[in-house]
Amino acid sequence: MHRRSFLLFGAGAGLYAGPLEDRIRRIEQRWLPVTSMAGDRVPAVSMAVFHNGQIEWARAYGVATTTGTLFQAASLSKPLAAMAALHMAQHGNFGLDDNVNTKLKSWQVPDNEFTATAKVTVRGILSHTAGLTVPSFPGYDEDDEVPSVLEILDGKLPARTLPVRVSQPPGAQFLYSGGGYTVLQVLLEDRFGKAFPELMRRIVLQRLSLYTSTFEQPLPAESAARAAVGFHQNGRSYTGGWHTYPELAAAGLWTTPIDLAKFALEVQNTLAGKSAKVLEKSAAALMVTPHLGAYGLGFETRPGWFGHGGANAGYRCRLWAARDGSHGAAVMTNSDNGAKLVDRIFAAIAAESSWPAGLA
């Protein structure tokens, strides 16, 4: 087992008993990297832990894996897309409660009996309460024809998913929808006048110095050289290394745990009134405040915590961050078997760091 590390000793590190490296070893003793990765058939794991406003340490495990190795973030793409949407709303591009059809140019949400009295809004999309369908997407391997986003929204070949439609009254209840975030992708492109990867680079990635991250799909060759290949449950790699996801806002981010940690730190700092690189404090609060169910406008929430998980073909990941800015971690793996390992790692970090139980 190869292990690559990034350690940052700074303010707050002395609050823990013993040197930081000793704590990391105790965490490893709880989740047992060699045994767990071999047993679960997970070739690569990367993680970053942050504490009191800074990345405290990062570590990667696996052959040819470093803390700079790229993984698919899957649904962890959604909070970053939500941040971009809230930024654009701040600047008057649309209201959170506007009917999105009044702002969409390239495509329209088809009206039906459910939209007669309530309309699909950005607030509804971000909180998964817009009543829109299609919870997730399978992606496309290297031999597949990749559909356009509009073909995906209408469920037309070569898309492999059903049309994105309103299946219950908007605003009535929670219904997780990657399809809704795909509608958001078109809306943001229509309003910004740029392709989604470029608008995300300008609004979020560049402002937060997330220089290793990209929403480009397919992944450019220079980035592909740094990417972890995705693996099936049986230990076989995916054809071509990974699937392509044109549903960029819902599932298209390639990133590292360090960049996810930097993203979460910005949200923590904005909530504390210490930063406003992308959002105002009030907008950041919307991201982490439950709407209907456990989701705010972008993040899943637990009492005092916010985060999100991700599950693309060949990748499993998770981010949790304390709302008060005290703690957080991001863990990424490159296997369909990765979810249990991610849970085990979070349990180990939480036990060593006195986090509340149940963050997995």
In DSSP notation, 14-65 reads GGSSS-HHHHHHHHHHHH-HHHHHHHHT---EEEEEEETTEEEEEEEESTT-
Q: Is the distance from CB of 94 to CB of 181 less than 8 angstroms? A: no
Q: What pLDDT does 63 receive?
A: 87
Q: What is the pLDDT of residues 242-273, one digit of tens each?
A: 999 999 999 999 999 999 999 999 999 999 99
Rounded distance between C-alpha atoms, residue 100 and residue 103, angstroms = 5
Structural domain boundaries in the chain: 71-353
> Residue 307 — φ and ψ, nearest 5°?
175, -165
- With a CB cutoff of 8 Å and minimum separation 6, the contacts of 208 are 262, 263, 266, 277, 278
Rounded distance between C-alpha atoms, residue 342 and residue 348, angstroms = 10
User: How many Cα atoms occupy the beta-carbon half-sphere of 358 within 13 Å?
Assistant: 7
Q: Is the pLDDT of residue 17 over 70?
A: no
Q: Is the pLDDT of residue 12 over 50?
A: no
Q: What pLDDT does 356 receive?
A: 76
Rounded distance between C-alpha atoms, residue 280 and residue 71, angstroms = 29
The percentage of the chain sitting over the pLDDT mark of 90, rounded to a whole number, equals 92
Q: What is the pLDDT of residues 339-353, one digit of tens each?
A: 999 999 999 999 998
Please give the CATH superfamily to which domain 71-353 belongs: DD-peptidase/beta-lactamase superfamily (3.40.710.10)
Rounded distance between C-alpha atoms, residue 212 and residue 214, angstroms = 7
Q: Is the distance from CB of 26 to CB of 352 less than 8 angstroms? A: yes
pTM assigned to the model: 0.94
Query: Which residue reads 């005092």 in tokens?
Result: 304
Q: What is the pLDDT of residues 154-211, one digit of tens each?
A: 999 999 999 999 999 999 999 999 999 999 999 999 999 999 999 999 999 999 999 9
- With a CB cutoff of 8 Å and minimum separation 6, the contacts of 309 are 74, 75, 76, 300, 316, 317, 318, 319, 342
Q: Is the pLDDT of residue 5 over 80?
A: no
In the three-class reduction of DSSP (H, G, I as helix; E, B as strand; rest coil), residue 258 is classed as helix
**64 vs 145, which has greater pLDDT?**
145
- With a CB cutoff of 8 Å and minimum separation 6, the contacts of 151 are 157, 158, 159
- With a CB cutoff of 8 Å and minimum separation 6, the contacts of 221 are none
C-alpha separations of 16 from 27, 131, 310, 320, 347 in Å: 13, 46, 30, 20, 18
- With a CB cutoff of 8 Å and minimum separation 6, the contacts of 82 are 126, 287, 297, 298, 299
